[in-house]
Amino acid sequence: MHQKTKILNVLTVIEDGGMETLVSNIYEGLSSYDDFEFYICSLVNSKKTFVFDKLEKYCKQIFVLSIKNKGLSVSDYFVLFTKLFVLASFIKKNKIDVVNSHDFFSGTYTRIAVLISRFIYFYSPKKNYLTLHNLFFWLNSKHHFVNRFLSKTTDTIICVSRSVFEYSFEKDKAKLHKYKIVLNGINEKIFIPDEGLKDTYLNEFNLNKNDIIIGNIGTLSIRKGHIYLVKAFKELVKIHPNLKLLIIGSFRGHEKEIKDEVFEYVDDNKLTESISFIDARSDIKKIYNIFDIYVMSSVSEGLSLAAIEAMLMQRICVFSDIGPFKELVTDRVNGFLFTSRDAISLQEKLLWVINNHKNLGHIGVKARDSMISKFSFRRMIADYYDLYNCYKVS
């Protein structure tokens, strides 16, 4: 029996966001091989979500460190420090071969724990990876210095898009040979349009067949720019009273003010009859079928899984013109782009699409074709197999 590679992915928290979904998809894809043993560490206490349940299916252990990363007291900093040794001990005890941390907080904390494992517990994982999932406009020069310093101890910095690589290379200034771009991939066999499901979800969400339905899927976060979407929608619904907006996703506890801002705007402008907020759900791949138009108003992304899914589902997609979306969409060919952080630009682009959406089926077909050719799930899993497998069998 050949030796299995033990893989530990360390996440800040396990919720239902794109990062957690991506890791669960990678574990699912790699589970068809008999070469790996999977572990997950959540630094912060996590709720039981459908993503958590999926990870439990594939992981030998989900380890919750139970630290805080916001609003820290003196005692919290002490816990933060002492639990570095707990994480390092976990790595040694389980003889983890590959440690893969994600983004800034997890990446910093985990890579320090790997150094403790190496120099205090005398156990070194064979590979120490960092995956970057975003354009981190909220980081400052001190954060980038930390990333640059810790890159010296990192074997590979995995970037989920070219835009993420270019951002990190410019800001963090890690050595070029450290980087590897692994584009996110989605299994196109799972995301297949099915008009037969439309009536079921129209009934569930109290929608009418004559409604024009705009969909948005994403955590209520500053990164997703929901406020620009609801501001644009306010003007559009005056022109098209049968316009409906479904915003599907949870919110991060540390960004409650973002949720409050969006909800208050909807309430103050009497949009509650036209805009529905729905918690994240595991049947998203079916819900896409009711969207006439799919919008992402993000101000920052890495490479959105929801965007790729919507395009695979042949939705007419309208995205902000940030770098990662430009990697997906050629304007007016397989989707549409508007100026990021500009509600008027979104309003104008959406108005044209709404007025013409019944004649834009070819845009959806091209969207699916372009995703299958570039963002293959099989290719992504093959890339992670090569990155993770420390005991290759010839």
Q: pLDDT at position 351, please?
A: 98
Residue 166, both tokens = 């270019």
The residue length of the chain stands at 394
Q: pLDDT at position 72, please?
A: 87
Instruction: Extract long-range pairs of 124-128: CB within 8 Å, 24+ residues apart.
Output: 125/8, 125/91, 125/96, 125/97, 125/98, 125/99, 126/97, 126/98, 126/390, 127/97, 127/98, 127/99, 127/155, 127/156, 127/387, 127/388, 127/390, 128/99, 128/153, 128/154, 128/155
Q: pLDDT at position 254, please?
A: 67
Q: Which amino acid is at 48?
A: K
Task: Decide if 159 contacts 132 (C-beta within 8 A).
Answer: yes
pTM of the model: 0.90
pLDDT in tens, the chain (394 residues): 578 999 999 999 998 888 999 999 999 999 999 999 999 999 999 878 889 999 999 999 999 999 988 888 999 999 999 999 999 999 999 999 999 999 999 999 999 999 999 999 999 999 999 999 999 888 999 999 999 999 999 999 999 999 999 999 999 999 999 999 999 999 999 999 998 999 999 999 999 999 999 999 998 989 899 999 999 999 999 999 999 999 999 877 667 899 999 999 999 999 999 999 999 888 999 999 999 999 999 999 989 999 999 999 999 999 999 999 999 999 999 999 999 999 999 999 999 999 999 999 999 999 999 999 889 999 999 999 999 999 875 4
Q: Residue 340's Cα: distance from chain center in Å?
A: 19
Backbone angles phi, psi at 174, to 5 degrees: -75, 165
Instruction: Give the span between the Cα atoms of 136 and 198, in whole angstroms.
Output: 37
Domains and CATH numbers, the chain: 5-185+376-388 (3.40.50.2000), 195-374 (3.40.50.2000)
Residue 52, both tokens = 């958590």
Q: Which amino acid is at 41?
A: C
Q: pLDDT at position 202, please?
A: 94
pLDDT in tens, 160-185: 999 999 999 999 999 999 999 999 99
Task: Decide if 295 contacts 260 (C-beta within 8 A).
Answer: no
Neighbouring C-beta atoms of residue 37, cutoff 10 Å: 18
Q: Which amino acid is at 383?
A: D
The CA-atom distances, in angstroms, between 305 and each of 23, 92, 176, 255 are 12, 33, 26, 21
- Which of 377, 387, 383 lies closest to 190 in space, CA to CA? 377
Token pair 């958590």 is found at 52
